[in-house]
Amino acid sequence: MTTVSREAFGRMPAEQGGGEVEKFILQSESVKVEILSLGCIIAALETKDRDGKFSDVVLGFDTLEGYTKKHPFFGAVVGRVANRIAKGRFTLDGKEYQLFLNNGPNSLHGGAKGFDKVLWSPQLLLDGVRFFRLSPDGEEGYPGDLKVWVTYTLSGRQLTINYRAQTSKTTPISLTNHAYFNLAGQGSPDVYDHEISIEADSYLPVDDTKIPTGEVAAVQGTGFDLRQPVELGKHLQKFHLDGFDHNFCLQQVQSPCLVARVCHPPTGRTMEVHTTQPGIQFYTGNNLDGSLKGKGGITYPKHSAFCLETQNWPDAVNKPHFPNVLLHPGEEYNSTTWLVFNTA
């Protein structure tokens, strides 16, 4: 059985529009997840270790104030387009669109005020919560009135995130959740002792601004070959990598696939990612620098978490040979990701 409850979490500052932020608590016998109506943020996710002890395995803040200040998208749904668009620019039907540049020369995760920074309208479900918002035509430079629904449901060990959208004009769309995980428990100093595997034969090399070059490169014989589990710290050392912030190319099928698995041997916690998306961005918290105080006043240093963001490929709107990222009027965007927590 899953129980669902709601409580007040705080009020947005007046300069950010005010408005009440609620927290929704979904709880099964093995997982407890707390989700905010601000940005559909996963603010906490508690799961058991092999001894049955619960720990919170996502980075974030204890109070609303942390989330209203600048932070690296902790736990949030990002959009309209997750990841980077080169020079914040794309052309549709002969018209050029210019987005806000918030990541060097590029647009990242929806721009200056993306889906992560707005209040969503919640609807309680028997086993979860559904959030809705209308992103108006022209918001952050994107065309079309876009209706978006994000639904979280919890069943036993499995958290399901479903994203749906409909548009009045053709628009690019790629939605994901940007939770930062540490299976040792949030606040643990690094994720070097985690073992990870990603079911991908190829990945996207990037330029020095993290935009894909256009090449779809084989992982074989490189540090990007994660098809067999690797211990993260040793793997980064072996291949002289500063960390990962790359899209791994998944099988392009409509049915859900197991695409990634992470295990933390000391606690026995495991996490599986299943998705219908064509890509997954593996990010190792390279830009965390200890300057943010998170839950319990703990700081989050570099490599203290990992993200596995299921999404379309970065900059797909400018690369015709990448999977289609355009949503047309009369169609529905519909994508689902399943996170399964267990112990080994």
What pLDDT, in 10s, does the model give residues 126-148? 999 999 999 999 999 999 999 99
At 200, the pLDDT band (50, 70, 90 cuts) reads very high
pLDDT band at 86 (very low <50, low <70, confident <90, very high): very high
pLDDT of residue 63: 97
The model's pLDDT over 152-196, given as tens digits with 9 standing for 90+, comes to 999 999 999 999 999 999 999 999 999 999 999 999 999 999 999
Q: Catalytic residue, from 71, 109, 178, 246: name it.
A: 178
Backbone angles phi, psi at 264, to 5 degrees: -115, 95
> How far apart (Å, rounded) are the C-alpha atoms in residues 158 and 58?
16
* pTM score over 0.95: yes
Whether 270 contacts 262, CB under 8 Å: yes
pLDDT computed for residue 180 by the predictor: 98
245 carries a ligand binding annotation: yes
Return the pLDDT at 252.
79
Q: Is 309 among the residues known to form the active site?
A: yes
Contact status, residue 327 vs residue 175, Cβ threshold 8 Å? no
Separation between Cα atoms, residue 184 and residue 280, nearest integer Å: 22
N- to C-terminal Cα separation, the chain? 23
CB atoms within 10 A of CB 302: 16
207 labelled binding-site residue:
no
**pLDDT of 212 higher than 80:** yes
Distances (CA, A) of 244 to 192, 204, 328: 12, 12, 33
Residue 295: which of 109, 122, 42, 88 has the closest Cα?
A: 42
Partners of residue 36 on adjacent β-strands: 23
Cβ count within 10 A of residue 110: 31
Instruction: Decide if 328 is catalytic.
Output: no
For residue 85, count other CB atoms closer than 10 A to its CB: 29
Q: Distance between CA atoms of 99 and 318, rounded to whole angstroms?
A: 13
pLDDT digits (tens, 9 = 90+) for 253-269: 778 889 999 999 999 99
Give me the chain's average pLDDT, please. 97
**Is 180 one of the annotated binding-site residues?**
yes
pLDDT for 2 equals 97
Which residues lie closer than 8 Å to 306 by C-beta, 6 or more apart?
Answer: 180, 181, 182, 191, 194, 196, 232, 262, 282, 283, 284, 285
Can you give the pLDDT at residue 331?
98
Cα separation, 200 vs 227, whole angstroms: 7
Set out the domains of the chain in order of their start, with CATH numbers.
3-343 (2.70.98.10)
Instruction: Give the position of tokens 């961005």.
Output: 281
Residues 199, 259 contacting (CB under 8 angstroms) = yes
1 Cβ contact partners less than 8 Å away, ≥ 6 residues apart: 28, 29
CA torsion, points 222, 224, 230, 235, in degrees to nearest 10? 70
pLDDT band at 88 (very low <50, low <70, confident <90, very high): very high
Q: Is the model's pLDDT at 239 over the cut of 90?
A: yes
Average pLDDT for 191-213: 97
What is the distance between the alpha carbons of residues 278 and 265, in angstroms, rounded to a whole number? 29
Q: How far out from the chain centre does Cα 140 lie?
A: 19
| Residue 178 counted as an annotated binding residue | yes
Question: What pLDDT was estimated at residue 251?
Answer: 86
Q: Is 97 assigned to a binding site?
A: no
pLDDT of residue 57: 98
Best CA proximity match to 209, nearest among 319, 96, 101: 101
Tell me what percent of the residues of the chain surpass a pLDDT of 90: 98
Selected catalytic residue, list 34, 140, 272, 309: 309
287 annotated ligand-binding residue = no
Q: How confident is the model at residue 93 (pLDDT cuts 50, 70, 90)?
A: very high
**CA-to-CA dists, residue 187 to 46, 158, 179, 306, angstroms:** 13, 23, 14, 13
pLDDT in tens, 290-310: 999 999 999 999 999 999 999
